[in-house]
Structure 1
């Protein structure tokens, strides 16, 4: 993809996302993840380095090296992924399912909002321990749209059954995008 991955775009080239571009990217990812989950595929390493941006701004999910087809039982326990984006149940070697990807997605959105590396003041292992033992989550900036802040908190819920699925995530993001466009058009 001509524009590379989102991690390099933000952290190496110091790119930033305006809210509408961020929402468009988030919708692309959530719809892609919805498709994967409908086909029983759990990505297990969703992070900005695995999201590629095309010339037209379309974002695609990449690196399926640790993706897994979810079996009928749906139980996985292997610690797989990258600590800064990993769900607490994965870090803790507890049974997990597709909702682990939803947690990682929340961290990705936070990263796109702030342009910062998640838990940047901590080593990856310290971040992992903080997420599991202390319920550590990144601070949501005050300026964030209230529905987007609420969505992040729901994606990060400790109880995976209380996290939204990607169909719901896409719907919320599309509604926020619609509101943002309406506000922008009223201000012009």
Structure 2
């Protein structure tokens, strides 16, 4: 079972397919059955697809609230689709909500602390997903979910391997920053991922043209 998000300038449509077969299962299963590191190109393409789906949600003021690898389904050719909108909500009129919702290992500290939160809580969860793609490990695998949550609320973060591309390392750190205001929106995340992708695809000795960075305010 999966949801497809159809974005248009005028409407948001969630279409439920009961019979669709996703041969790759979910991203959690895919990641944690790997015996070796994923190629950077594949990591970027998966991360880009997730980011574009989340940007579409946020453009329509919808917060997923439980973004994690188990809620991302995989089709042929590593195509990914965001699933399980059971706890997704339209942002409140004030732009924030307070209910503790989600899964501890991927949950933003403001949710754990029962503080008001908004779309940036999904960005924190995305950082954990990206960390999983890079390390192929379960987040906080030496802790119970509750211990992990208590650690996160006290500032604990996962260790990023030293050999990770510096652009990805920087992006992860931005996305799981304690201050939601410092976390980028998904439009900005897409630009950063595209920059890394362009960098690694430039032939040796070649040059790439610089381009203006996309700036976008957080959804209200």
Which TM-score band applies after superposition, normalised by the shorter structure? Answer: over 0.9
Equivalent-residue separation in structure 1 for 2:126 and 2:79 (angstroms):
17
The count of aligned residue pairs is: 184
- The Cα shift of 1:14 comes to 4.8
Aligned twin of 1:8: 29
Aligned twin of 2:210: none
Which stretches in structure 2 are left out of the alignment for 5+ residues? Answer: 1-21, 206-220
Equivalent-residue separation in structure 1 for 2:159 and 2:61 (angstroms):
32
- Give 1:127's match in structure 2, choosing from 132, 148, 165: 148
Pair 1:162 & 2:176 matched: no
Pair 1:103 & 2:124 matched: yes
Equivalent-residue separation in structure 2 for 1:15 and 1:165 (angstroms):
31
User: CA deviation digits over 1:112-147, x for unaligned, max 9?
Assistant: 0000000111100000000002x0110011011111
Q: Which is bigger in relative contact order (C-alpha 8 A, separation at least 6)?
A: 1
- The Cα shift of 1:172 comes to 0.1
Aligned twin of 1:62: 83
- TM-score normalised by structure 2 residue count: 0.81
* RMSD, aligned α-carbons: 1.3
Pair 1:50 & 2:50 matched: no
Q: Show the 5 A alignment for 1:74-113.
A: 74-113=95-134
Aligned twin of 1:186: 204
Moved over 6 A (4+): none
Which stretches in structure 1 are left out of the alignment for 5+ residues? Answer: none
Between Structure 1 and Structure 2, the one with more strand by share is 2
Equivalent-residue separation in structure 2 for 1:100 and 1:75 (angstroms):
10
CA contact (8 A) 2:34 2:136 kept: no
- TM-score normalised by structure 1 residue count: 0.94
Equivalent-residue separation in structure 2 for 1:16 and 1:98 (angstroms):
30
CA contact (8 A) 2:31 2:136 kept: yes
Q: Secondary structure at the match of 1:101?
A: helix
